[in-house]
Amino acid sequence: MKSFERHLILLFLFLTVAMFYGCASVPPAPEAASEEKTKISIRPTVRDFEPPSWVNKGSGAFKDADGIKVIYGVGVADGIKSLSLQRVTADDRAIANLATQMNAVVKRLKKDYESLTASGETSLERKNIDNAMKIIVNETVSGSQIIDHWEHPMKNVLYALARVQLQTFTKQIESHKELSEKSRNEIKQKAEKLHKEMTKDGL
């Protein structure tokens, strides 16, 4: 009888220890809930993706980080499934936008130049300037570069940034010897002044 009682006590102790370790191995419910909450909280949202400053500032005249006078053009391509086609489209639009910026600059340059030289300018010189400026814009845009891209991580939208230095533009003016030296110098001076007037905050 005593042997039976002894075995019963040992069995009871064994079951008690087994239950204790079994409960200890189960992770606490509050921690599991906290872990799930953490996973949800780090899920990315639209606000988590900040584009570079040039995406928001857009095209125009700027001074870059080195103080170099530049003109930027921004192109956007969206809704294009082919990655290579999307990139080419964004680049082409950035360069086209840069050409628009350059044409706007030239239009103002010609207007300012004509007001300064109306009395002494010959019709031939005026014609030479008109023809030269069209060529200069094309030459300047041809010397532009695509320097950056940004793709929105949550949308099928790609941005491209085209850049050309103002110095490239003024060098093209200097190379057109069909313009008089006086005209070349005055146009270059007006270009520098106009860029300063148009300059936005740096990118």
| Domain range list for the chain | 2-41, 53-198
pLDDT in tens, 11-69: 555 555 555 555 545 455 444 444 444 444 445 455 557 899 999 999 999 998 888 99
| Cβ-Cβ contacts under 8 Å for 149 (sequence gap 6 or more) | 87, 90, 158, 159, 160, 161
pLDDT at 5: 58
- Residue closest to 149 by CA, chosen among 74, 199, 80: 74
Q: Which two tokens stand for residue 1?
A: 């009888």
**Spans of the chain below 50 pLDDT:** 24, 26, 29-42, 44
- The upper half-sphere exposure of residue 9, i.e. CA atoms within 13 Å in the direction of its Cβ, equals 6
Measure Cα distances from 114 to 100, 107, 129, 190, 191 in Å: 21, 11, 10, 11, 14
Contact 183, 129 (CB under 8 A): yes
What gap in Å lies between CA 30 and CA 21, rounded to an integer? 20
pLDDT at 10: 57
pLDDT at 133: 87
- Residue closest to 107 by CA, chosen among 82, 77, 76, 130: 130
pLDDT at 4: 54
pLDDT at 18: 52
pLDDT at 130: 83
pLDDT at 54: 93
> What CATH number should be reported for the domain whose range is 53-198?
3.10.129
Q: With a threshold of 0.85, does the pTM exceed it?
A: no
